[in-house]
Structure 1
Amino acid sequence: MSAGGGKVKVTANGAGDVVAIKIDKEVVDPDDVEFLEEMVLSAVKQAVEQGKALAQSEMTKLTSGFGV
Structure 2
Amino acid sequence: MESTNFRQLVRGPVTVVFTPFDDQGEHIDEDALRENVRYIIANGIQTGAGLLVAGGSTGDCYLLTT
TM-score by structure 1 length? 0.29
Q: Of Structure 1 and Structure 2, which has the larger fraction of its residues in helix?
A: 1
Higher relative contact order (CA 8 A, sep 6+): 2
Q: Of Structure 1 and Structure 2, which has the larger fraction of its residues in strand?
A: 1
